[in-house]
Structure 1
Amino acid sequence: MAGVLLDILRQASEDGGGIIPYTEFHNAQLSEHANLQAEYVAWRQNTSTTALCSICQMPYLLTPEAKSFIMHGEAAMQQQQHLSAAAMQAFFSGGSAAVAAFLQIRVRRSHVVEDALNQLAHLEAQDLKKPLRVTFITGGVPEPAQDEGGVTKEFFQLLTRDLFRPEYAMFTYNELTRTHWFSPASLEAEDEYALVGAVLGLAIYNAVILDVHFPLAVYKKLLGIRPTFADLKAAFPDLGRGLQQLLDFEGDVEAVFCRSFTAQYEFYGEMREEELKPGGASIPVTAANRREYVDLYTAWLLEGSVGRQFGAFRAGFLRVCGGPALTLFTPAELELLVCGLPHLDFEALQAVAKYEGGYSAEHQEVRWFWEVLHSLSLEQKRAFLMFTTGSDRAPVGGLGKLPLLIQRAGPDSDNLPTSHTCFNSLLLPEYASKDRLRAKLLTAVENAQGFGLQ
């Protein structure tokens, strides 16, 4: 009964524009102590449309961490089913069960996108649910590194870096919001966009946080929710302000704004125009029809102008992550699953850090390191995370879930600290003073290129 009342309150809040933050409905105690596997199974076995038999029927009560656990549990169950089928097939065909158990990807470092597309595009959906194992090829020879997670993480970093390069022209970049959007002028085949969607799904399945940032409207559309004018304003603030001024203007709209029912976009240096409705080029925007104009423009920008690109992207994503657990997430929670938490708790990171090479939590150098890190600005801390992990966000559950490894890299010297982002490790020389440590660390962090997209 309490759950039903909460649902009524939540729905009323949503209808009122989110008066109560969605996170206020999360029940941390329930999420932590419930048998989430049993709840998932009960949910999937329930055939009644009215009987309440699982908290999965009230997803607003579950924290993002609990939903992530359910999704990874669903993935594990599906992977286990496919592993068993693959092993059986290998047995009868005389192949290797160990090889059939994994999604094996071999990519040349100089052709990461091409090789990934060629191998992923024609796989069955069930193969994409197998645990990923990556082998890099250099000079025609497989690299000797064994993929225990670090190589797979590097693969995602390199692939997303290349896919979002400006020369591919698949996405545009908004400096103000620091997010990417689909390019309406892109000439890339749909396969490339499907690959980006599949990469997001594979990263979720393989528990890898991506340094990929889209507006929330993308995650809404992935969940089948139609974006609104509010989403346009969030994704394109300058354009949103202009359209809002058009809606709020109290004078002669037609004379002042001089707009018709058309939209313009750049196509490789040439401005093109598209009608928002039949005959739109000859229909002026007036006070009487401006709301229709804004609605049509919103639908064109967020849906129609990129329909081909987004359709392929969503299809690629759903090939990997189209399971029932996806419906538990809100758009914001799905974004969190892909690119991690923006909130950073470095005290939690310190509590779980590991040390090697002679360092320990009590070592003077390590104490100096944490004192320096805690004293940095938020932007400097984000840069440090990018330097050491390849992402400036925390995984689901916060930085306390990030396995940071700090290794001694020799005695005091002029060498800068280095990192292995694939293994979340920092190689830190034993500097002679805290001031020297601070200067060397900031120099390394602020001058490292990393895998950032911009």
Structure 2
Amino acid sequence: MNRSFLNQSKHFQTSSTYSGLDLCLCEIGFNKLLHNEAIQLEVEKAVMKMLPSLHEKPAGVEGLRVFLILNELLYAIQRLRHGSLWEGPQTGRGFHGVEISMKVAAAVQSLSTEHLQITANWWTLSMMEDKSRHVNVWRTALSEVLGIEAFPHSSSKDILQILQNMYNVNKGKMKIPETAFCLEFSPIFIEQEVIRWRLHSKSMAVDNPPLLLCSFAFVMDFKSKQLVFQCNSDLTVQEVQPEWMLYQFQGLAPPPPSYFELNLRRSFLVEDSFRQLAEAPPTDIKKDLVVFFDGDTKITNVYKKDFFHHLFPRIKEEKPEMFRTNDSETLVWFSIKEPERIKADVYLFGLLCGLALHNDCIFPVPFPLVLFKKLLGVKPTLLDMMEFCPEVGKSLQYIMNYEDDDLEDQYIFFEITWDDTVIDLDPENPGKPVTSQNKKQFVDAYVNYVFNQSVESVFQEFERGFFQLCDRDLLRMFEPQELQRLMVGQDDYDWEKLKQNTQYDLPLLENGGQLFRFDSHLQNPTMQMFWKVFDALTEDQKKDFLWFVTGSRKAPILGMGQIQMTARLKIITSGSPDEQFPESLTCHNILDLPSYSSEDIMRDRLIQALEAERTFSSEEERWSV
């Protein structure tokens, strides 16, 4: 097999960086060969017979070609199996095909580190479409193995390790998207995996240890990771209510759950929430959160949304000593002026961030990505300075790009001013100039001071609060951008998706003594008028509309497809519809629209609603005036 599908003009150049194979010939050849079902069976039998003979130490690099060829063979088998009725993984044929994938994976993983590196080099230097195809082969194989109960989950470790090796060397200009490695896992699998992980993390014996959460989280897509996090939070809520679990174990109807209650006054939001958090027992804050405002004891998610939506602007206003704002006033970072004074408040702020995540709430805190990198143990870089302080970042980049040897003549020193404080980055060498030889040291020291050294004690308090509710080890499955998205939502607004997902609750109308209902919103003049007006709104006005209907200006963490708005015609019992304003029920994402007589009137009333001062939502409805 090693002598098959060779590039006739170049195969003599085979080396640790070139396989000598023509992968296009592989694909064409296997597609023709395997098109006949009987021939495919014989090929599969031959491969199964050959695999045990593959030596762990092939003779020369040419002996490794077979593993690339087997990739192409698996791809062809999977395509044929997935394109016909007899190929399902639970059938005998499908079962056999999955077994081949497992055997090939085991053979690959039996290679020495040196030979694995050579195959990795070949893969890294191959064409983009070849790389994507090979990743898809093993991603499909993993999905099939996990879908067959006869195979223990440990059987997929060789496949996962192959994907891990590809993931690790997927760099440079020819890098394929990291999402190419991801699978969406079922809620049942996720729950079982989280339970195994929780037992494993408590050093309890587990027959099947967690498969993905310890070593291979990179194969989970964001939706699966979010589901893992929420499942773990739900299990934590149950764990801190032992009486609830006892009733469930005995098959009895459980008592009403207990909650972590925040009883707040709208006018004293920060004072009340900080005080009650500081006084709360550690186990209580792990329960489901409910928020009550001004003595209203209704349990509603609307109040939780409002709480986290309004909280940070209030904190920034009432406790300005906690944060410093960047020059454009779009992002904040921890202040370095009075660390001892703000430590207690920063701890509670970290607790609030963890509380939002634990309760699946968006908390729109305007921190740069570096906050989430630090929470995950990722080192800050110059790119983080570029985000938070673009002018400083550009200056540092200029220094890094400066190629002449006279940088010392620019009179730049290891002394900076940050947060109105003069800092010597090398106190043992006062007045040290920046030169071509030490410019990287200067830039690294600058970035390290801003994001690490200057806020070390304060950030430790933030972390201490944050990880009261969020498991540090579990969070490592996220990339920094994913953790940021989980907390603050996202800015990817697909307004067409909102329109497509909208449902309509239109009343019966009378015409000539007959009752009828519009067949669709497209026949309803008010709904037609609304979407014309909506499409003409500015981007900020559309975000205000999102807040008006859902209680959040941010898109949901899983995208706009998560929003299902219901548009209704508002029933007017007295007066003219043109005198009325739109209303919304944020707890159900319901929009009530009067039947306006013209687009101009609708536009005027809607914009007035969106421009009105944002106050806390009513549980019953949000009025625009």
Indicate whether the TM-score tops 0.5.
yes
What is the Cα deviation at residue 333 of structure 1? 0.8
Please give the alpha-carbon distance, in whole angstroms, between the structure 1 residues aligned to 2:407 and 2:566: 61
Please give the alpha-carbon distance, in whole angstroms, between the structure 1 residues aligned to 2:211 and 2:552: 35
Q: Partner of 1:136 in structure 2?
A: 293
AA matched with 2:192: A
Deviations 1:334-390 (CA, angstroms, capped at 9, x unpaired): 111111122122333234445569599624323322343244444432232234334
What is the Cα deviation at residue 303 of structure 1? 1.0
What is the Cα deviation at residue 233 of structure 1? 1.9
What is the Cα deviation at residue 167 of structure 1? 5.7
Given candidates 344, 349, 360, the residue that maps to 1:207 is 360
Q: Partner of 1:434 in structure 2?
A: 599
Q: Partner of 2:35 in structure 1?
A: none
What is the Cα deviation at residue 74 of structure 1? 0.6
Q: Relative contact order: is structure 1 or structure 2 higher (C-alpha 8 Å, sep ≥ 6)?
A: 1
What is the Cα deviation at residue 98 of structure 1? 4.7
Q: Partner of 1:169 in structure 2?
A: 321
Asked if residue 341 in structure 1 is aligned to residue 490 in structure 2, the reply is yes
- Kindly indicate whether the alpha-carbon contact (under 8 Å) linking 1:354 and 1:403 is maintained by their aligned counterparts in 2: yes
What is the Cα deviation at residue 322 of structure 1? 2.0
Distance of aligned partners of 1:283 and 1:164 in 2 relative to their CA distance in 1, 3 Å threshold: same
Please give the alpha-carbon distance, in whole angstroms, between the structure 2 residues aligned to 1:423 and 1:192: 34
Q: Partner of 2:305 in structure 1?
A: 153
Deviations 1:189-211 (CA, angstroms, capped at 9, x unpaired): 21211222122211112221122
Alignment of 1:257-406 (within 5 A): 258-266=411-419, 271-322=420-471, 324-353=473-502, 358=507, 362=521, 363-406=524-567
Given candidates 251, 264, 276, the residue that maps to 1:107 is 264
Higher gyration radius (CA):
2
Q: Partner of 1:94 in structure 2?
A: none
Given candidates 598, 603, 609, the residue that maps to 1:444 is 609
What is the Cα deviation at residue 45 of structure 1? 4.6
Pick which of 247-256 and 347-356 moved more. Answer: 347-356
AA matched with 1:398: G
AA matched with 1:370: W
- Kindly indicate whether the alpha-carbon contact (under 8 Å) linking 1:64 and 1:396 is maintained by their aligned counterparts in 2: no
**What TM-score do you get using the length of structure 1 for normalisation?**
0.83
- Kindly indicate whether the alpha-carbon contact (under 8 Å) linking 2:349 and 2:465 is maintained by their aligned counterparts in 1: yes
- Tell me, what secondary structure is at the counterpart of 1:282? coil
AA matched with 2:593: L
Given candidates 150, 164, 167, the residue that maps to 1:7 is 164
- Kindly indicate whether the alpha-carbon contact (under 8 Å) linking 2:578 and 2:601 is maintained by their aligned counterparts in 1: no
What is the Cα deviation at residue 332 of structure 1? 0.9
AA matched with 1:441: L
Please give the alpha-carbon distance, in whole angstroms, between the structure 2 residues aligned to 1:58 and 1:416: 52
What is the Cα deviation at residue 274 of structure 1? 1.6
Asked if residue 63 in structure 1 is aligned to residue 221 in structure 2, the reply is yes
Q: Partner of 2:408 in structure 1?
A: 254
- Kindly indicate whether the alpha-carbon contact (under 8 Å) linking 1:211 and 1:390 is maintained by their aligned counterparts in 2: no
AA matched with 1:5: I
Distance of aligned partners of 1:104 and 1:18 in 2 relative to their CA distance in 1, 3 Å threshold: farther
Deviations 1:105-129 (CA, angstroms, capped at 9, x unpaired): 1122222111111111243433221
Please give the alpha-carbon distance, in whole angstroms, between the structure 1 residues aligned to 2:503 and 2:344: 41
Pick which of 205-214 and 411-420 moved more. Answer: 411-420
Asked if residue 25 in structure 1 is aligned to residue 181 in structure 2, the reply is yes
- Kindly indicate whether the alpha-carbon contact (under 8 Å) linking 2:259 and 2:290 is maintained by their aligned counterparts in 1: yes
- Kindly indicate whether the alpha-carbon contact (under 8 Å) linking 1:121 and 1:191 is maintained by their aligned counterparts in 2: no
Deviations 1:13-60 (CA, angstroms, capped at 9, x unpaired): 36x599443333322xx4357621122234445579xx9852334222
Q: Partner of 1:91 in structure 2?
A: none
**What TM-score do you get using the length of structure 2 for normalisation?**
0.62
Please give the alpha-carbon distance, in whole angstroms, between the structure 2 residues aligned to 1:19 and 1:185: 43
Q: Partner of 2:385 in structure 1?
A: 232
AA matched with 1:386: W
- Tell me, what secondary structure is at the counterpart of 2:357? helix
AA matched with 2:557: V
Asked if residue 184 in structure 1 is aligned to residue 336 in structure 2, the reply is yes
Please give the alpha-carbon distance, in whole angstroms, between the structure 1 residues aligned to 2:471 and 2:238: 17
The count of corresponding residues between Structure 1 and Structure 2 is 429
Given candidates 202, 219, 223, the residue that maps to 2:376 is 223
Distance of aligned partners of 1:320 and 1:385 in 2 relative to their CA distance in 1, 3 Å threshold: same
- Tell me, what secondary structure is at the counterpart of 2:290? strand
Please give the alpha-carbon distance, in whole angstroms, between the structure 2 residues aligned to 1:175 and 1:274: 19
What is the RMSD computed on CA atoms of the aligned residues?
A: 3.2
AA matched with 2:398: Q
Distance of aligned partners of 1:198 and 1:404 in 2 relative to their CA distance in 1, 3 Å threshold: farther
Distance of aligned partners of 1:191 and 1:428 in 2 relative to their CA distance in 1, 3 Å threshold: farther
AA matched with 1:159: L
Q: Partner of 2:347 in structure 1?
A: 194
- The structure with the greater share of residues assigned to strand is 1
Given candidates 241, 247, 262, the residue that maps to 1:83 is 241
Distance of aligned partners of 1:424 and 1:382 in 2 relative to their CA distance in 1, 3 Å threshold: same
